[in-house]
Copies of this chain bind each other. A is one copy, B any other.
Amino acid sequence: MQIAFIGLGNMGGPMAINLVKAGHSVKAFDLSQDAVAKVVAEGGQAAASALDAVQGAEAIVTMLPASQHVEGLFLGQGGQSGLLASIAKGALIIDSSTIAAATSQKVAQAAQAAGIDFIDAPVSGGTGGAIAGTLTFMVGGSAGQLERARPLLEKMGANIFHAGSVGAGQTAKICNNMLLGILMVGTSEAIALGVANGLDPKVLSEIMRRSSGGNWALEKYNPFPGVHENAPASKGYTGGFGTDLMLKDLGLSQENATAVKASTPLGGMARAIYAAHSIAGHGGEDFSSVIKMLQKQG
């Protein structure tokens, strides 16, 4: 299949390469020439621009930083017309960016008017999952659109969830990541409280993991150094999912909560805590480093 891939960062790059490896013809674009070169090295083609990339494409995959980039790309901005005008009728857009659900819905509506399918398909699983092709996709769109996309998604991911109609993938992702942000702070608090009382963090973590406090952080991503050998906490809080990325997702959850008048006390608190952690200079560290806010180090 002829595929355009736009946005080749730490996540998008490996995803595009997995599509190339699966035998697809992938025309790739990014503002960074180096990023394009990596895909070309694996057998992809370089596009001179986003407009060039979508020429003749049957499917377009995008992986961009924020709402305004997706809206600007497809709908245009600053007097420049958007890509929708140049994409072939009947094509399928898979947007894997993590953005506001309202933006997904706005672009999808314009796409539909132009005879183009648009689904939101944000991912979880990190750069490791992007490289291994084991990402989780949370998809918003019709069942039929998801089935169109499935063959491509399966080359990039291992779990594909149908969250609901367009925008629902974004909502599911921010709900999940809000909960993850809460789990990580809560788990950090619990361990820090135990350690302040003289408990061994490994012993306490194991007790809670097997009890009603059990959660993903205790299972796979313990914030206390040395409990999980391969977790970022045991590697100086490098790798993994950065504090500033968690802060962005928690910001999206709070914008959404504001829009629908939902009450998210712990989600709001988690955002404030990660914001303070970022202000203190830890924005580039893995988000599990938030335990430093709660426990004296060294």
Interface, chain A (partner B; CB < 8 A): 101, 124, 136, 138, 159, 161-165, 167-168, 171-172, 174-180, 182-183, 185-187, 189-194, 196-200, 203-204, 206-208, 210-216, 219, 221, 247, 251, 253-258, 260-273, 275-276, 278-280, 293-296
Chain B residue nearest in CB terms to A197: B171
A207 to B172, CA, bound (A): 8
Minimum CB–CB distance for A190 against chain B, Å: 4
| A-B pairs, 4 with minimum CB distance | A268-B268, A215-B215, A263-B275, A179-B213
Task: List chain B residues, Cβ under 8 A from A177.
Answer: 212-213
Q: Is the CB of A258 within 8 A of B254?
A: yes
- B212, B216, B269: the one contacting A269 at CB < 8 Å is B269
Please name all residues of chain B whose beta carbon is closer than 8 Å to the beta carbon of A257 when the two chains form the complex.
193, 275
A74 to B210, CA, bound (A): 32
Nearest-CB residue, chain B, relative to A219: B214
Residues from chain B with a CB closer than 8 A to the CB of A211 are: 124, 136, 138, 159, 176, 180, 216
Most-contacted residue by chain B among A262, A293, A295 (CB, 10 A): A262
Bound CA–CA A65/B197 (angstroms): 23
Question: Could you give 28 example pairs across A and B, Cβ below 8 Å?
Answer: A101-B197, A136-B211, A161-B207, A168-B197, A171-B193, A175-B199, A177-B213, A179-B187, A179-B190, A179-B213, A180-B212, A182-B190, A183-B212, A183-B215, A185-B265, A185-B266, A189-B264, A192-B262, A192-B263, A196-B260, A196-B261, A254-B268, A258-B271, A263-B294, A269-B269, A276-B294, A279-B293, A279-B294
Q: How far is it, in angstroms, between the C-alpha of A180 and the C-alpha of B272 when the chains are bound?
A: 19
B189 contacts A263, C-beta separation under 8 Å: yes
Count identical subunits in the complex.
4
Distance from A76 Cβ to chain B, minimum over Cβ atoms (Å): 15
Indicate if the CB atoms of B176 and A212 lie closer than 8 Å: yes
- Extra A-B contacts (20), CB below 8 Å, given A165-B198, A251-B261: A138-B207, A163-B204, A164-B198, A164-B199, A171-B197, A175-B193, A175-B213, A182-B182, A182-B189, A182-B190, A186-B266, A193-B253, A196-B261, A251-B258, A254-B268, A262-B294, A263-B272, A263-B273, A265-B265, A266-B269
**Separation of A166 and B263 alpha carbons in the complex (Å):** 31
Nearest residue in B to A272 (C-beta to C-beta)? B265
A211 to chain B: closest residue by CB: B176
Shortest distance between the CB of A92 and any CB in chain B (Å): 22
Residues of B within 8 A of A272 (CB): 263-265, 268
